[in-house]
Amino acid sequence: DKGNRQFVGKNSNYFKDLAESNSGIKLLCEGPDETIYVVDENNNFGCMAYKLSNAIMMPPFNFYTANDAKKEINTIWISDDSDLYIAANTDTIYFIPGAAKLFTQNASGRMVPTYMPVIDKDSNFVTIQGARPVKKFSLGKGFIATSFAQASDERIFLIGTNKGLFEYEKRTRQRI
């Protein structure tokens, strides 16, 4: 797919997990502007703009999960460009452009959210306004990403996999 497909679906139920099952945080990463993303033990997302508030919020995207396949999130990473990368237990890598840009300054100088989550009729959190698209790509069949890091060349980042280390060019969205 080379990152061309976008998924829109139900958002995570991070807050339900905290209230009903006392699910803990299994993954955590920080990006630009002190934006923090967390993933709980049930693979649901939460985020916070730490310099504005320490409250965990719903993320600005609806992460696709198929009912017939258990998607286990292995690692998350926020690039210097504010993009969120997600590696699961498959050979697919998901990325959300601009996911770390949670707030913007309005005309009066106040910081306001760039998106609007709501609760649907089935009590699921869904981002309806300003939702970021969830895109995906693959390094190849059987290549499962396990880690991400920024390379010294800002145009490139590194992806650690079960089959070695790869360079990935941000602009072309291609493996080098």
The pLDDT tens digits of the residues spanning 112-147 come to 888 887 877 877 777 878 888 999 999 999 999 999
pLDDT band, very low/low/confident/very high, at 156 (cuts 50, 70, 90): very high
Mean pLDDT, range 80-108, rounded to an integer: 91
Nearest to 57 by CA among 73, 29, 35, 27: 35
Tell which phi-psi region holds residue 88, choosing left (phi > 0), alpha (psi between -120 and 50) or beta: beta
Mean pLDDT, range 152-161, rounded to an integer: 94
**What does the mean pLDDT of the chain come to?**
81
Inter-CA distances, 98 with 82, 130, 134, 176, Å? 5, 11, 10, 23
What is the reported pTM? 0.80
Q: What is the pLDDT of residue 21?
A: 55
Distance CA 85, CA 162 (A): 17
Whether the predicted pLDDT of 100 surpasses 70: yes
Whether the predicted pLDDT of 8 surpasses 60: no
